[in-house]
Structure 1
């Protein structure tokens, strides 16, 4: 379902004043807010005060935006070591809401919001949704998970702030999701890209052609995904798929969003966040246009400000297009902690996704199994073929996948063909990797 030029347009009159600022105005505001944030954490967050004092730094030393490089990095381990509330910058009694990560690899990271923080977050999420093409009065099916995960409630507040109508279905109950999409006829779906594939499967099980639904927009985030996945989703569901970016430690969803009129990577809301890209090994700041690890300093948060937080997301910063005063980031298609080192070759699940989606007989449903053969690691790609594919064509597709991975990535992997519908489906963030070496 193609949007009309009018629906694709983003009239300047509808934009926040910050979205119309020049680059010089953005940077002047960033410096003012950076200085206030550093003073705030120095006065109220003991771990930050200790780090700054150890470096001989005081808030008055931050005189230019480049001086952010003098400040220490913050990592997920810093947040875990101060669990639960050691990084809060206001008394716990002034915290209006608490969110947390799952903590599957250790202690969860806990984040807090004052009432003012929640208003800021809702406003930025509304800005992101509007940039993605959502308009007041639209019906929005929100399949991000509610609870301690920031996705569901963060997106929910943004839909309401924008003046659209939210259906708070959350994640899971996929058959019911499909039923409600058929019955309620929403304009927009919010979820992870892999979960939208699962919803499309469920629609087909109901006898509904995914291309025939009312959905016109999908605002997708919370996991890396490729432009090949975008094309797959847009073709399968006849909608526009837009990338939204965020993470709990920095705010939640709504740190940035692609703009519908350009779809060229999320514009970052730099009036509230100061981004950098650094070399993942040395920590040295890289110039715009070079790929490295994304780092954020929050500029307006009261309860849980972060200084130079290392996200582990790999991307590069680019000039703004639809919002010229705000820089863009290239779509994140990998994370430092997702990288697989296979016999000296570095690869990411999104590289496999890109190759899988280039072979018509294969579906986007795949899982990577990492095992140990003797002293060496081995990787097997388990991938489903599309329904109705001739067995001979399916075997040829599997062989082709192995060859293309070898040619394009440089790694030799095994490939195991799976029958349609046999691999696990996403109900939120999909775990692409099964590490069979453990235990």
Structure 2
């Protein structure tokens, strides 16, 4: 472990392989995966046959683009076990999405899949700087959601002491952090910010009275401005990791301490960036939709899964010594993009404007509605100091400032409503900040 610490916590040798060796591993595992799903998953056999592709046609990584995409509706239409490549007897655990818009997406794990997942989450925890003497408090909800179980098993593998607190019961969270001397916080970024506010209400300064030194945040995207807010409140290193239940859960990629993109576990996943409208594969550095192919999963392999997440790939080697391709911070989702009066608007663009302003807090709501035939964008934004609302001239000046800044970024106008501190809803899981009333 001491040697690993010296190397910026590089957990496995696969993280520093020569690029050519990584590509050889990817091709070998890709060919094996395609052969297996063709033989074991009727959905993929039919999809590949319709595209006129056989497993023997895949002889290079470039051939991957011949394969049709898999989308979330494919998972729903094959609910619950139609995309599994193993028998139910071989599945030792089930996870899935929340199913808030209907049936959940169901994913399964063999014993080997769980071992792989544990290794990958140990890898991303180590990237962030987790050690065997850390005390890790998990404030993700346990259940079908993969976040809590995924990080739990990886942190235990590293040797950290894990506190499986789950989400909610925030005052008790703070009490345990203080009493146990928690050094790692695992949660969504929005819940971490809420926890800091509750700690302050309890008379506890998160920065000076608690010992949290690293946050391993996932489950939702957040801007660099939001990250700075977290780091200032907690005086911690706020790192981000990426995953989704369909792919494996957390462990697909994660940030090292240099925070310059999330290192992708390329020995287990092949990442592509496509134009979300045309499906064309884009070169590194060009922004588009992330598509991922799993190449080691046994129970639930996926070919060219469209994640809907907007990002780009970075191939330059990181200062930490890892040779893995990185993905930039997710900059929105192709399916949460709002089209307002013909203008494409991502919630992350709005957040980047709001969180960077010192007069207002990091909590906001985005409301889109119709006024006659026109779209109207409206924002509810908390001020930091409630007395500010009593001064009409300052109130109007701040509204104008926010409106101008948003217009510069978005190209459209917005109605701004300033509200009292601590009046907007807080979230223990993924934050839901957009209300579309059209």
* Same fold? TM cut 0.5: yes
- CA drift at 1:113: 0.4
The separation in 2 between residues aligned to 1:190 and 1:351, in whole angstroms, is: 25
- TM-score norm. by structure 2 comes to 0.96
RMSD: 1.6
Shift of 1:107: 2.1
The answer to whether residue 234 in structure 2 is matched with residue 251 in structure 1 is no
Partner SS for 1:207:
coil
Q: Does 1:296 align with 2:292?
A: yes
Match of 2:212 in 1: 215
Check the 8 A contact 1:267/1:323 in 2, yes or no: no
Aligned runs of 1:62-77 on 2, under 5 Å? 62-77=58-73
Q: By how many angstroms is 1:162 displaced?
A: 1.1
- CA–CA separation in structure 2 for the residues paired with 1:188 and 1:66: 40
2: CA distance between counterparts of 1:241 and 1:316?
A: 21
Match of 1:357 in 2: 355
Change (3 A) 1:91 1:185: same
- Cα deviation, residue 15, structure 1: 3.0
Shift of 1:323: 4.5
Q: 1:323 to 1:339 in 2, by over 3 A?
A: farther
* Cα deviation 1:317-350 (Å, max 9, x = unaligned): 0013134421001100200111111101111111
Equivalent in the alignment of 1:84: 80
Contact 2:137 2:182 in 1 (8 A): yes
1:28 corresponds to which of 17, 24, 29 = 24
> In the alignment, what sits opposite 1:373?
371
Residue matched to 1:235: 232
Deviation per CA, 1:148-199, whole angstroms, max 9, x where unpaired?
0111111111111111111001111112212211221111100111111110
**Is the 8 Å Cα contact of residues 8 and 133 (structure 1) preserved in structure 2?**
no
Aligned to 2:129, the other structure's residue is in SS state coil
1:11-160 alignment runs, 5 A limit: 11=7, 14-160=10-156
SS, match of residue 271 in structure 1: coil
1:385, 1:394 within 8 Å by CA — same for their partners in 2? no
Distance 1:47 1:381, change over 3 A: same
2:387 and 2:30 map into 1 onto residues whose CA distance is: 57
Q: 1:285-335 CA deviation, whole Å, 9 max, x = no partner? A: 000110000000001000000000000000000013134421001100200
Q: Is the 8 A contact 2:8 2:127 kept in 1?
A: no
Q: Distance in 1 between matches of 2:371 and 2:420?
A: 26
* 8 Å contact from structure 1 (residues 362, 397) kept in 2: no
Aligned residue in 2 for 1:316: 312
2:433 corresponds to: 432
Identify unmatched segments of 5+ residues in structure 1: 1-5
Alignment match, 2:170 = 174
Question: Which residue is 1:383 aligned to?
Answer: 381
Q: 1:20 to 1:258 in 2, by over 3 A?
A: same
- In 1, the alpha carbon distance for the partners of 2:396 and 2:116 equals 53
Residues in 2 aligned to 1:195 and 1:12: alpha-carbon distance in whole angstroms:
28
For residue 13 of structure 1, report the CA deviation from its aligned partner: 8.1
Shift of 1:105: 2.0
Change (3 A) 1:415 1:12: closer
SS of residue paired to 1:338: coil
Over residues 12-70 of structure 1, what are the superposed CA-to-partner deviations in whole Å (9 max), with x where a residue is unaligned? 78531101201111001000000010011001011001001111211111100101011
Corresponding residue of 1:418: 419
| Equivalent pair of 1:370/1:378 in contact (CA under 8 Å) | yes
Q: Secondary structure at the match of 1:199?
A: helix
Q: Do 1:121 and 1:254's aligned partners in 2 also have CA atoms closer than 8 Å? A: yes
For structure 2, the 5+ residue unaligned runs are none
1:206-237 superposed Cα distances (whole Å, 9 cap, x missing partner):
10012111000001111111111111111111
1:3 aligns with none
